[in-house]
A and B are shown apart, each in its own frame.
Chain A
């Protein structure tokens, strides 16, 4: 923060805190790295013609774009930001966010066109990464929302991975039994709530350390789902009845009149429309859920109370709030969202449940909660960021410019850099993880 200290007469002395200087030099360093990378992309591209498809579902002809132009424009923008940062013309707050976004986008586009350049003769065309981003982010966003709800109320939820697994299993079983994928969502919600209830009862009634509890619940859910899976007979007929659900189709085809017409209108939006809105029911629920949770936490009386029991339960108790009841509500509601996220793995994408199929996504969701500073919208953005990185790594894998294993590392590396370089110290809700015992 720059502080203006007025002295006698006309002179003004600017006193800057060390933190502000650190922020500036971090920004200069990051922008310089981006500029150097873009410069290298520019020199490395021999054949700048890049074909791209933004709407391949509609059979459009491939367009072309000149990679050199993209890289140079990005480079110029980055250099402008770098100069401004070096001259300390970018104050803290939204200008920093804006500058970082511009540079980040310039780097991302430059990196993309560099990957797709020099591919003449092959059929690789740049495709829109947004649909994949949304798809990969669905469980992460739900998990992150669950984490935010629990932890804003002061209950640490490391067990998101366990909720995912348990919900994925029951979503598959219920959907197979009912013969319709949508019922699987209900099974998932119930299973997510069940693990949430275990979390709540052991954290609040038996005062178990919540970090320990989360790890144990993951182990329990993993063991139980594996055990139950081993109990489903290998007989294909029984298996089909118990663990072979249909998967959710894209909503615009679902035939719900009102939703379909809205979806048709939205998918009509060029570029973004078909890619973001041509998704399954879970993706739509995700958009709604982000808004609902953000509204609940920050705009309602219930949310204010939840936040107050997460920050200072004693004070909340003093003014007459039922601390543990509010925490129970938040944890169970969080469990429902985590259950929807878990349902993604079976009825939302893969169908039948297989052992350990959430594959660490619960941990990524947990990372998104912390990266997003326990704020549902920022946490969802962190989850989307992770989805984008995953999509890019799977799309660029076949181009051969960057070795596939480096691309696999991309999401994780990007998260570490983001957390270490940009997010830094985060402050959890003050009473997060501390059980409240009325004295």
Chain B
């Protein structure tokens, strides 16, 4: 890390839609970029506005590219391409119809009704929690690819407590959630501990721990009697007991509120607590932090323990919220999506919540899109990737729409591997 690039990162990057308030306790200042000094806001508090506009434009651009793909996947539209030069109207009407159908079912399927919003919130909750874990590690300068493995171990712990223990309702839930968090914390902590003690690169260890959790631990335990659903030949555990389930409120469950609470706690932890100050200091420049008397090793270990705890909490959402049993696909791709969510949220808690909601909506809407408009649901994944790509490249978005007022242009900490 050179001095030039680390300096701007000491301030928290303003996230999409986030009002960054000066924090008197930790000596934060409103972010000022060195590269574009003429971008001083005219009014205080308006510095985030261009970033929000850029983010919205990026989403819009991704939808435009998605629309092209929708048109190209529509049979009528493709068929009319063969005579597009004689009757261009045909192509545009078919394509327009396909695009309208797809996007309207995307929107109505994800946020079109109270029910749909509930499904979106339930889908977003684990993404938010796991994304917060990646965010926390990211702020310490650690790249946590291991959310997937931490989720799996968290799910194993939470699920086991959920279907074997016998406790009164509220207590059982607390015990199962705590177990999930402990499971995730252990798995994340291994990577943090190895990083701190031996310098083993967290990217390698978390990747390997992912494989260990999914291809070994999960499969091994599911083949054991203690984890087997009685009378089932499939590698599947019993469903958690009712007493361990999150309270259901309509079609959402209490876990959604737990995710919001987790975001507030993580925000406080990063921005207001002493540990958060150390975390950001180590993330910005470990050598400087060490010189200032901080224990970089301790921060690394605790950051990964925290990241694992949050991923473990995410794991409880589907199991204790929707009543999923443990199976080989128990974590889905939440752990990997969480990385993208955290990056789209620019490693800030509020940004992660918003990104998690967007991804939840896209994933729910993508299914609805396939069901009602016949558009392949893989398109939802392409859209997600395009949105993040465009959000991460504000210069490209501003170049395409010829926007005059440039934002801060900062993405998540532009730093390299480091150590």
Contact = CB atoms under 8 A, between A and B. Distances in A.
Interface stretch (B44-52, B226-234, B373-381): B373-381
B414 A419 contact: no
Contacts of A227: 69, 73, 376, 378-379, 381-382
Contacts of A211: 143
B388 A434 contact: no
Interface string B375-419: 010110111111011001101100000000000010111111111
B301 to A, nearest CB: 14
A64 interface: no
A427 B219 contact: no
Contacts of B35: 437
A363 B414 CA distance: 21
Contacts of A411: 211
Interface stretch (A118-126, A173-181, A402-410): A402-410
A369 B310 CA distance: 29
A149 B227 CA distance: 46
B216 A408 contact: yes
A435 interface: yes
A216 B194 contact: no
B265 to A, nearest CB: 25
Contacts of B215: 408-409, 412
A209 interface: yes
A403 B220 contact: yes
Nearest to B219: A405
Contacts of A17: none
A35 interface: no
A215 B343 contact: yes
A209 B388 CA distance: 12
Nearest to B216: A409
B318 to A, nearest CB: 21
A367 B414 CA distance: 21
Nearest to A202: B393
B384 A416 contact: no
A222 B381 contact: yes
Interface residues of A, number: 56
B204 interface: yes
Interface stretch (B21-29, B97-105, B195-203): B195-203
A219 interface: yes
Interface centre among A224, A229, A437 (most CB of B within 10 A): A224
Contact of B385 (A202, A219, A364): A219
Nearest to B149: A412
A205 B419 CA distance: 26
Given A231-B73, A416-B194, A428-B417, A213 B207 contact: no
A223 B2 contact: no
A373 to B, nearest CB: 11
Interface in B334-358: 336, 339-340, 343
A428 B211 contact: no
A415 B412 contact: no
A38 interface: no
Contacts of A363: 145, 207
B393 A433 contact: no
A162 to B, nearest CB: 9
Interface centre among A212, A367, A403, A433 (most CB of B within 10 A): A212
Interface string A202-233: 10011111111101110110111011011100
A307 B209 CA distance: 32
B216 A412 contact: yes
B69 A420 contact: no
A208 B211 contact: no
A216 B392 contact: yes
B204 A413 contact: no
A355 B370 CA distance: 18
Contacts of A419: 194, 200-201, 204-205, 208
Nearest to A419: B200
Contacts of A69: none
B212 interface: yes
Contacts of A222: 381, 385
B417 A209 contact: no
A413 B212 contact: yes
A416 B208 contact: yes
Contacts, number: 174
Given A230-B376, A412-B211, A212 B200 contact: no
A426 B73 CA distance: 47
A59 interface: no
Contact of B209 (A406, A416, A433): A416
B137 to A, nearest CB: 12
Contact of B393 (A206, A223, A413, A427): A206
A430 B396 CA distance: 27
A70 interface: no
Contacts of B395: 205-207
A323 interface: no
A431 interface: yes
B392 A367 contact: no
B386 A425 contact: no
Contact of A433 (B198, B385, B411, B416): B416
B350 to A, nearest CB: 18
A121 B402 CA distance: 78
A29 interface: no
A285 interface: no
A366 B212 contact: no
Contact of A420 (B205, B339, B384, B385): B205
Interface in A355-394: 360, 363-364, 366-367, 370-371
Contacts of A219: 336, 340, 381, 384-385, 388
A424 interface: yes
A211 B201 CA distance: 15
A229 B209 CA distance: 30
Contacts of A278: none
A215 B416 contact: no
Contacts of A409: 211-212, 215-217
Contacts of B419: 425-428
B203 A224 contact: no
Contacts of B2: 431, 434
A432 interface: yes
B295 interface: no
A61 B365 CA distance: 62
A416 B417 contact: no
A432 B416 CA distance: 6
Given A220-B386, A420-B205, 4 more contacts: A206-B396, A212-B343, A223-B378, A223-B385
> Ordered nearest first, which 9 A-B pairs have the shortest CB separation?
A433-B416, A425-B199, A223-B381, A409-B216, A223-B382, A220-B385, A206-B393, A226-B378, A219-B385
29 contacts: A209-B415, A212-B411, A216-B340, A219-B381, A219-B388, A220-B385, A227-B69, A230-B73, A230-B376, A231-B73, A363-B145, A366-B203, A367-B203, A367-B208, A370-B417, A371-B204, A405-B216, A409-B216, A412-B209, A412-B211, A412-B216, A416-B205, A420-B194, A420-B197, A426-B201, A427-B419, A431-B416, A433-B415, A433-B417
Interface of A: 156, 202, 205-213, 215-217, 219-220, 222-224, 226-227, 229-231, 360, 363-364, 366-367, 370-371, 403, 405-406, 408-409, 411-413, 415-416, 419-421, 423-428, 431-435, 437
